[in-house]
Amino acid sequence: IVSRSNCRNSAAGFYTEHLVEKKKFCAERLNGSFGSTGGGFYIADKEGNLSLRGIVSSVKVKPDGYALFTDVASYLPWIQEQIGGTNVQTTLSECGKKAAIDAGRPWPWQGQVYRNDSGSIQRVSSVAIISELFLVSPAGVYSSSELRDPTQLSLTITSHESRQAQVFHSQRIGKIVRHEKFYPESGSNNIALLQLQTPLKFSERLSPICLWRGDPREFNIELGRGGTGGFTPVKDCDGPQNHFCIETSAPVAWNDTFYSERDGSWYLKGITANVSMGENGSRAMLLDVPRYTEWIDENSIFRRKNLLGNLNCAKRFINDYTFISDAAGKKCFAAHIKPTILLTTATCLENVTASEITGTSGNQTSSVKSIHVHPRFNSCNHANNIAIVQLGQPLDSATPFCLHLDPPKRKFRLRSLLPNRGFERHFYDLALSPGGMLECADQWRREGVELDTSGGHLCGELEGIAENRGDPFCTEKFEGSSLYYDYGDGQGVYLRGLLDLDKRNHCEKLLELPEVYVDVTFYAEWIRDIVGAFREDS
């Protein structure tokens, strides 16, 4: 393996183009030949075991030329994701097995969530472990403001050996994702996902329960067991949609989880919604969890596939007044994606150095350590108009945006924010242009502006903005302001774009000019490569 600089210098016109992104490396042939494109590059350990490091990407015909290899190690997360399947649980054989049950811990997937309030420990709810990162919980217990803060919550796992409850594992909660159609008044859709800050390590005493993936109507209870004992179904159940009722001789707790066995595996069947006492024990109404498997998968998968691995993002909302300044004042807006990382347009940073600008988010300002403009940026047609700003100090008083690793499969709205310093915030839905970027480019060309149409942009109209015609904010400069995904659940702060072109008047439709945004998702790989090269604390 040879250095990137030696590789580039040997034939700059050929190698530089291929070494822009840090997912390739160069190697020199010592003997033999490189073989065909796609051939392997292997590294041997002391015992002679071979590990795949690269695959041939391209080779110059010159015998003394270097070969370019795709760096397989850079794609390990993607490889693991592809071969591991798309469900939150890798395989059904790893969940709900009796082999993991012992006398001290009869239900290896059951845990409790506790809140620590200045030393006062409060039980919140039972939860069911469904993967290394996610727990299923009732949503209603997080209705109060003090319980919406996940930093005060922890998962606790206990064992009852020697007839005493002993905590053998505990870790922090990172996020609470309540069902977007949960209604406290009726109890409808009373389900939530809790995301842990760090993954669990499964063992014989700690393993997930299965989620039913067949038709929910086929998972009728004949006889089952819950966290507290056996139960039988009740046909006469007067409750909200997607609920069922049971009777049991064992005590039933509010916000408890119930399981049922099918073909040797245990499945999460219910979450207690209501409990009443009868002559022969307890009668409980439960949420029918198999009817929510699709929702669980959608939320757990898309929320964990976060480009930069931030857990501290996608909160209820982010700081929306983030910008780049120089000695003359504010130059443009930016999107805060990590404590020391901002995204903005490359046109904003033309002809400036890192020492000449600062980054501000909320009430914090930082010097700039480095600027990384996309290597193929073209100011003439705004191609690849994106830049990464690395700050000298973290801006940690604000919550950053998340970035999608893959395009979302959930329904969403695109929301644009045109920020100002006052209390008023200007949010608008973006209706994408039906004719795409070709139509948008034609419209802007009539104004003498050329736009790249090969990818990296999206455009459309801001719905309802014309109603503000005459407002002074309409003529302000909003370059770099954010466009984000809104999933309708109060959690939607995944960044989609940055405003590229500033119109003379954003509220005036006489010119029929659409708004044009840099499509951040188009540059996901480049962003991850650049940010990944920074120090971990950034």
Question: Tens digits of per-residue pLDDT, 447-476?
Answer: 899 999 988 999 999 998 888 888 888 888
Identical fold for domains 4-78 and 100-304, yes or no, is: yes
| pLDDT given for residue 466 in this prediction | 87
The confidence band for 102, taking pLDDT boundaries of 50, 70 and 90, is low
For residue 425, name the pLDDT band (cuts at 50, 70, 90): low
- Report which of residues 332 and 8 the model is more confident about: 332
DSSP code of residue 227: S
Q: So what's the architecture of 100-304 in CATH?
A: Beta Barrel (2.40)
Q: Is the pLDDT of residue 497 over 90?
A: yes
**Domains of the chain by residue range:** 4-78, 100-304, 322-400, 413-525
pLDDT at 101 over 60: no
Highest mean pLDDT, choosing among 113-117, 220-224, 323-327: 323-327
Where are the strands (E) in 183-334, listed by range?
192-196, 224-226, 230-234, 243-248, 257-262, 265-278, 281-288, 322-326, 329-333
> Residue 104 — pLDDT band, cuts 50, 70, 90?
low
351 or 21, which is more confident:
351
Q: What is the pLDDT of residues 183-240, one digit of tens each?
A: 888 888 899 999 888 888 888 788 888 888 888 877 766 544 444 446 777 877 877 7
Average pLDDT over all residues of the chain: 80
Give the rounded percent of residues in the chain with a pLDDT score beyond 90. Answer: 23
Burial class for 426, CB neighbours closer than 10 Å (0-12, 13-18, 19+) = buried
239 burial class (0-12, 13-18, 19+ CB within 10 angstroms)? middle
Q: Can you give the pLDDT at residue 32?
A: 60
Q: With 80 as the cut, is the pLDDT of residue 96 above it?
A: yes
Residue 87 confidence class, pLDDT cut points 50, 70, 90: very low
For residue range 283-306, what is the model confidence (pLDDT) as tens digits? Answer: 888 899 999 988 887 777 655 556
CATH code, residues 413-525: 2.40.10
248 pLDDT more than 60: yes
Mean pLDDT of 467-496: 82
Asked if 406 and 305 count as a contact pair (C-beta separation under 8 A), the reply is yes
Beta bridge partners of 414: 485
Nearest to 334 by CA among 473, 342, 326, 308: 342
What dotted CATH number matches 322-400? 2.40.10.10
Query: Is the distance from CB of 227 to CB of 127 less than 8 angstroms?
Result: no
Burial class, 258, CB count within 10 angstroms (exposed 0-12 / middle 13-18 / buried 19+): buried
Element (H, E) at 460: strand 457-462
pLDDT at residue number 83: 47
Task: Give Rg (Cα) of the chain.
Answer: 27
Worst-scoring range by mean pLDDT, 49-53, 160-164, 335-339, 502-506?
A: 160-164
**Residue 498 in this model has a pLDDT that exceeds 60:** yes
Q: Is the pLDDT of residue 20 over 70?
A: no
- pLDDT tens digits for 434-445? 989 999 999 999
Query: First vs last Cα of the chain: how many Å apart?
Result: 28
Q: Mean of the pLDDT values across residues 410-430?
A: 75
* pLDDT of amino acid 351: 92
Closest CA to 403 of 488, 483, 462, 504: 483
Q: Please name the amino acid found at residue 393.
A: Q
pLDDT recorded at residue 227: 42
* Per-residue pLDDT, 204: 77
Q: CATH number of the domain at 4-78, please?
A: 2.40.10.10
Residue 255 has pLDDT above 90, yes or no: no
Residue 211, CA distances (Å) to 18, 91, 131, 142, 389 in order: 44, 11, 10, 23, 43
Residue 320 has pLDDT above 80, yes or no: no
Written as one letter, the residue type at 461 is E
